[in-house]
Amino acid sequence: MASGSNVLKATIRQLNNKDVRLRRRAVRKLFELDDPTAIDAFIPLLKDQDEWFRGKALMAIQRWASMKDLTLTEKLSKSQKPEERILACRIAPRIGKSSETILREMLTDENNLVKQNAWKNILNINEDFIEEALENDDVGIRVLAIERIQLMKEINNDIIKKILYDDSVRIRKKAINLLRSRPEIYSSGEFDEIIIQIAENDSDIQIDALIMLIESGKENELFSQNIPIWLENEDPEMIKLIVESMENKDWAEIEWLINKIMKSSNDKLISRILRRKRTIEADKYRKEILLDETRDVVIRSRIIEDLFGKKQDEEITEIIFELENNENESISETAKMYRESIS
The domain in which residue 317 lies consists of 278-343
Of 113-127, 136-150, 252-266, the poorest mean pLDDT is in 252-266
Task: Please give the Cα distance from 219 to 335 (Å, whole number).
Answer: 37
Q: Is residue 52 part of a domain?
A: no
- Which of 89, 111, 112, 113 lies closest to 101, judged by CA? 89
Q: What is the rounded average pLDDT of the residues 275-296?
A: 92
CATH of the domain at 330: 1.25.10
Q: Is residue 176 part of a domain?
A: no
Number of domains in the chain: 1
- Residue 1 pLDDT exceeds 60: no
Distances (CA, A) of 236 to 11, 204, 242, 243: 60, 12, 10, 11
Q: Is residue 252 part of a domain?
A: no
Residues 17-56 pLDDT 10s: 999 999 999 999 999 999 999 999 999 999 999 999 999 9
Distances (CA, A) of 143 to 130, 188, 215, 240, 279: 10, 24, 23, 26, 41
Identify which has the larger pLDDT, 133 or 204.
133
Query: What's the pTM?
Result: 0.77
- Residue 83 pLDDT exceeds 60: yes
Residues 243-261 pLDDT 10s: 998 888 888 888 888 999 9
- Residue 226 pLDDT exceeds 80: yes
Residues 208-220 pLDDT 10s: 888 888 888 777 7
Q: Is residue 146 part of a domain?
A: no
Q: Is residue 214 part of a domain?
A: no
Residues 290-323 pLDDT 10s: 999 999 999 999 999 999 998 888 999 999 999 9
